[in-house]
Amino acid sequence: MRLDVVSLAPEAIAPLLQLGVIGRAFDAGIASLHTHNPRDHANDKYRKVDDVPYGGGAGMVLKPEPVFAAFEAIPVLPQRRVLLMSPQGKVLEQADLRRWATGYEQLVLLCGHYEGFDERIRSLADEEVSLGDFVLTGGELPAAVIVNGVVRLLPGTVGTASCLEDESHSAGLLEHPHYTRPAEFRGMAVPEVLRSGDHGAIARWRAEQQQQRTQQRRPDLYARWQAQQQQ
């Protein structure tokens, strides 16, 4: 997969190239990461990328010309999706990451900055994405989250593919508890069922724990999961 990030702060994206299994996936050619700075496409001698908002108001607004120029310089693959990082966008879910990882060969991520971006920049995007109901200084951190979340789902990134199947949000529920040695630590013991060797009992215990944990911690997810089960 090819990932292109349009950003005024490409140095915020570069550390992904050395980040654990994600970095190794880039080294192995499972994915490629490219950054594009709109400042390199500014059409004046000061390389200006922002300006005051029409109608007045605080802050500076990202100009459309350098963003469009940076975007239009990116090679286009047949199966491409363009994502705009925006606090007004749809809140990111695991299902989105899986959809992008399996359905496209190229993702372009547009990062805003300053007070905001010229409204016409929205026309470039297929989707607007948010990490939640809060505002950051730019779209680089959300873009990095998406790159991380998508690349880890690509075949070959994670050594054991089954690790991706039972984790939190993969099937609408939170993940069950995990334990390793020692069997007892500071008075806290590993549940007996996990040491029983009975794989059927272990599977049932894990499924029960997923439901209980989701109901306790994320009742909204649990209600959605129950509705899906009834359908």
HSE-CB for 68 with a 13 A CA cutoff: 10
Model confidence at 113, pLDDT cuts 50, 70, 90, reads confident
Residue from 80, 103, 109, 79 nearest 154 by CA: 103
Ranges of each domain in the chain: 2-151, 166-230
Rounded Cα distance between 182 and 50, Å, is: 57
Question: Cβ contacts of residue 155 below 8 Å, gap of 6+?
Answer: 30, 161
Q: What element of type H or E holds 224?
A: helix 219-230
Write down the CATH number for the domain with range 166-230: 1.10.1270.20
Strands laid side by side in the 116-117 sheet: 50-51, 61-62, 116-117
Tokens 């989250």 identify what position? 145
pLDDT tens track for 120-172: 999 999 999 999 999 999 999 999 999 999 999 999 999 765 555 555 556 78
Rounded Cα distance between 25 and 178, Å, is: 26
Chain mean pLDDT for the chain: 93
Q: Which CATH superfamily is domain 2-151 in?
A: SPOUT methyltransferase, trefoil knot domain (3.40.1280.10)
Report the chain's terminal Cα–Cα distance, integer Å: 34
Model confidence at 20, pLDDT cuts 50, 70, 90, reads very high
- Is the pLDDT reported for residue 107 higher than 90? yes
pLDDT tens track for 71-84: 999 999 999 999 99
